[in-house]
Amino acid sequence: MFTGEYNHTIDPKGRLIVPARFREELGEAFMITNGNDGCLNIYPEKAWETFLEKLQLLTNTEDKRKIVRSFVSKANRVELDKQGRILIPTALRGYAGLEKDVVLAGAIDKIEVWDKKRWDKETDTDDIDVITERLAELGLNI
């Protein structure tokens, strides 16, 4: 499972250091694609393959086609270099607004990559009490 929050910078060439703790679970190569709310998602290759297998089993609906167009077609396989960095493709950097300061956040089965300012806005805890109450209604107490 991926947990924790790490602040890093992306260099002008689009290279980003992946924290050592995440590298251990990801392996040498993994998938990166668009995520929800303006972030990028990083998936271990095996998890990505499992997702694709499940997606293939779904009936060809408009929702399935949109998922394929929005996430699958944008996915790129990336590999770590000797310094533990990945090269984030230009289109993905543009989608997530990644310029310099970024946050890599563990999200259980994946890693989210955020522009630091967007992350700070997204994780503003003003409404955390409302969220925890809704979770409690679903049976998850924090």
Q: What is the pLDDT of residues 105-118, one digit of tens each?
A: 999 999 999 999 99
Q: What's the N-to-C CA distance of the chain in angstroms?
A: 18
Question: Is residue 125 assigned to a domain?
Answer: no
- Gap between the Cα atoms of 30 and 22, Å rounded: 11
Question: Is residue 128 assigned to a domain?
Answer: no
Residues in the chain: 142
Q: Are 80 and 28 in contact (CB under 8 A)?
A: yes
Residues contacting residue 7 through CB under 8 Å, at least 6 positions apart: 101, 102, 103, 116
- Gap between the Cα atoms of 105 and 108, Å rounded: 9
Question: Is residue 133 assigned to a domain?
Answer: no
pLDDT (0 to 100) of residue 31: 97
Looking at the 3D structure of the chain, how many domains does it have?
1
Question: Is residue 137 assigned to a domain?
Answer: no
* pTM attached to this predicted model: 0.90
Q: What is the pLDDT of residues 63-106, one digit of tens each?
A: 999 989 989 999 999 999 999 999 999 999 999 999 999 999 99
Range of the domain at 38: 5-116
Q: Would you state the structure tokens that stand for residue 22, as one six-digit string?
A: 């995440």
**pLDDT at 127 > cutoff 80:** no
Question: Is residue 121 assigned to a domain?
Answer: no
Q: For the residues of 32-53, what is the DSSP string, one character each?
A: EEE-GGG-EEEEEHHHHHHHHH
The CATH number of whichever domain residue 52 belongs to comes to 3.40.1550.20
